A and B are shown apart, each in its own frame.
Chain A
């Protein structure tokens, strides 16, 4: 119903879609490759 809150906004977003929308260009969509600070 219109009164209900849809946390997905009506779209079934996959991990890669979420990251793409954020402008991230990660390896294979969701993998960090670079060296991480200790």
Chain B
């Protein structure tokens, strides 16, 4: 629910400064949070270049923000110690954009009960309700899944919950810190009149017969078919795994019905890039030959080229048979373009073909690596629940491994390890400023509706351990010798991560596990450039100076108009402040009283004037009548 008043809104592109006080990991997390805003809303962020008002992100004490644009020039927002989580940053920026907490809305008591005697003494005010003169729920239902909702343990004085949801199923849902909920996005997009986003391009689960405007290629041997099952597999689509009767479609290229080398092309609708880099993500199922392959092309339309030029981007070969696989393909297209999926029949025997589903295209960076975990549920709460990923390499050449701890019965733990690798002799040690971002993928078909769980850690080359070693030193020097399943020995450095990555309840609340498969997306990038100070331009204009000369009372906000500072005063439905400094309060009731009083006064004045006029006229008439009578008497006397 949002703060009422247009003066609290930011422009759609918000200027920001990441102050030097911030930890380098926090800076990276904040930039990742901005990417989520760019994907799902029309809000964008840009480094401050002298605009009158901007958000200064600091490492203060704790995690906090002001609500709405306060028009103070440099408006602070704190991402303190332990606040460097993406959903926490999203939460604080939602405050800055003008949102209060979900459970403070006026209809709160219809949905949750506040257990007052379980609240820490003196903290009861945190559970106040604010009426619709202060906040606006924007016609959106109460949202248990909001990233702006307190968790059930907020401000508790013991172990019992302070917030009890009236629908018990939501008791462990409130307080999620994964990503925006659908209603968070609806409210934000309503408040800021969003109609598009900067980085989202298209999403397709093939549920509609128009197949998202995709077209069959010409001059190839076969077509892709929209089906709900294929004879050689899969039995269901990926979007809803066949759970909804009469729906659940995907596109299938039947390689068993064509000759070796035959192709079928499926082209996306025309797409218009803004940023010049894209990530194509989709699920692929192979029920044909292990030699069947999927080629990804882009057909670009530079100015004047109506036919477009076709460029091969990636050949996907050796596609595992018999299960849905997740693929990412990086594109770098600046012209108008189409994405082309080309199925190609390989040489081996085929009883099926290739199937694609849940395509998402966005102007974002693809993750560097994917860890696909099969038969996931069997590991939950099991002594066998210590899972190590295959080895991966970062773009800089560091080898690493992820450890997922599923042994606990409540929480999933996740840890990042550097391991010995082929490039170690050429790399810098201790490993400096590599940020590892670990994302548990919510497999919702639509990328904009996903609530994936993400945490990031950054290697600090100065960090030491109890034994005096550098934590991120070369694994062959400070790590333990361990063995891969194939018997190969390697060294693994100490893990760095969290035992509270996500709870199983939250894991089951979304599509994190689908067909008993789970995906951990991994990106390890060099963030050493974030160590340097962001350029700080001299503030433009005299906006701040002009406003510093006046003080607006009653929460009024100073703005500069035609070179003159003036106060914009807050108002509600039936009240307002006015005057040069917003010092005068007015309300509808006052106006009615004034109007009624004025009417009565005017009526009384007119009545008095009328009465006086009548009195004078009558008096004058009587005088005249009296003198006429005297004259007539005299005349009569004279006549006689």
Q: Enumerate chain A interface residues (CB-CB to B < 8 A).
A: 1, 3-8, 10-20, 22, 24-33, 35-38
Residue contacts A-B, CB under 8 angstroms, 7 given: A4-B496, A6-B497, A10-B500, A16-B154, A30-B95, A37-B72, A38-B547
The answer to whether A31 touches B66 (Cβ under 8 A) is yes
| A36 CA to B480 CA, complexed, in Å | 51
Interface status of B369 (Cβ within 8 A of chain A): no
Task: Using CB atoms, name the residue of chain B closest to A6.
Answer: B499
The answer to whether A32 touches B498 (Cβ under 8 A) is no
Q: A10 — which chain B residues lie within 8 A by C-beta?
A: 499-500
Q: Which of A1, A31, A37 contacts B67 (CB 8 A)?
A: A31
Beyond A4-B415, A30-B92, A32-B64, 17 additional pairs, beta carbon < 8 A: A1-B495, A3-B480, A4-B403, A4-B495, A5-B494, A7-B82, A8-B498, A10-B500, A16-B126, A18-B81, A22-B61, A25-B122, A27-B126, A30-B95, A31-B100, A38-B547, A38-B548
Q: B403 — which chain A residues lie within 8 A by C-beta?
A: 4
The answer to whether B73 touches A15 (Cβ under 8 A) is no
Q: A38 — which chain B residues lie within 8 A by C-beta?
A: 72-74, 544, 547-548
Task: Using CB atoms, name the residue of chain A closest to B83.
Answer: A18
Q: Which of B75, B120, B499 contacts A8 (CB 8 A)?
A: B499
Closest CB-CB distance, B617 to chain A, in whole Å? 65
The answer to whether A7 touches B61 (Cβ under 8 A) is no
Q: A24 — which chain B residues lie within 8 A by C-beta?
A: 61-62, 64
Interface status of B76 (Cβ within 8 A of chain A): yes
Which of B91, B411, B471, B498 has most A Cβ within 10 Å?
Answer: B498
A-B pairs with lowest CB-CB distance, top 4: A4-B495, A12-B500, A19-B62, A8-B498
| Chain B residue total in the interface (Cβ 8 A) | 55
Q: Which of A5, A12, A33, A36 contacts B76 (CB 8 A)?
A: A36
Interface status of B323 (Cβ within 8 A of chain A): no
| A37 CA to B547 CA, complexed, in Å | 12
Known contacts A30-B64, A38-B73: A16-B104 contact under CB 8 Å: no
Q: A17 — which chain B residues lie within 8 A by C-beta?
A: 153
The answer to whether A4 touches B83 (Cβ under 8 A) is no
| A18 CA to B80 CA, complexed, in Å | 9
| A37 CA to B72 CA, complexed, in Å | 7
Interface status of B63 (Cβ within 8 A of chain A): yes
Q: Which of B70, B104, B120, B547 contacts A28 (CB 8 A)?
A: B104
| A18 CA to B75 CA, complexed, in Å | 22
Closest CB-CB distance, A35 to chain B, in whole Å? 8
Interface status of B9 (Cβ within 8 A of chain A): no
Interface status of B420 (Cβ within 8 A of chain A): no
Q: A36 — which chain B residues lie within 8 A by C-beta?
A: 66, 70, 72, 75-76
The answer to whether B155 touches A29 (Cβ under 8 A) is yes
Known contacts A28-B101, A28-B104, A30-B92: A14-B177 contact under CB 8 Å: yes
| A29 CA to B91 CA, complexed, in Å | 12
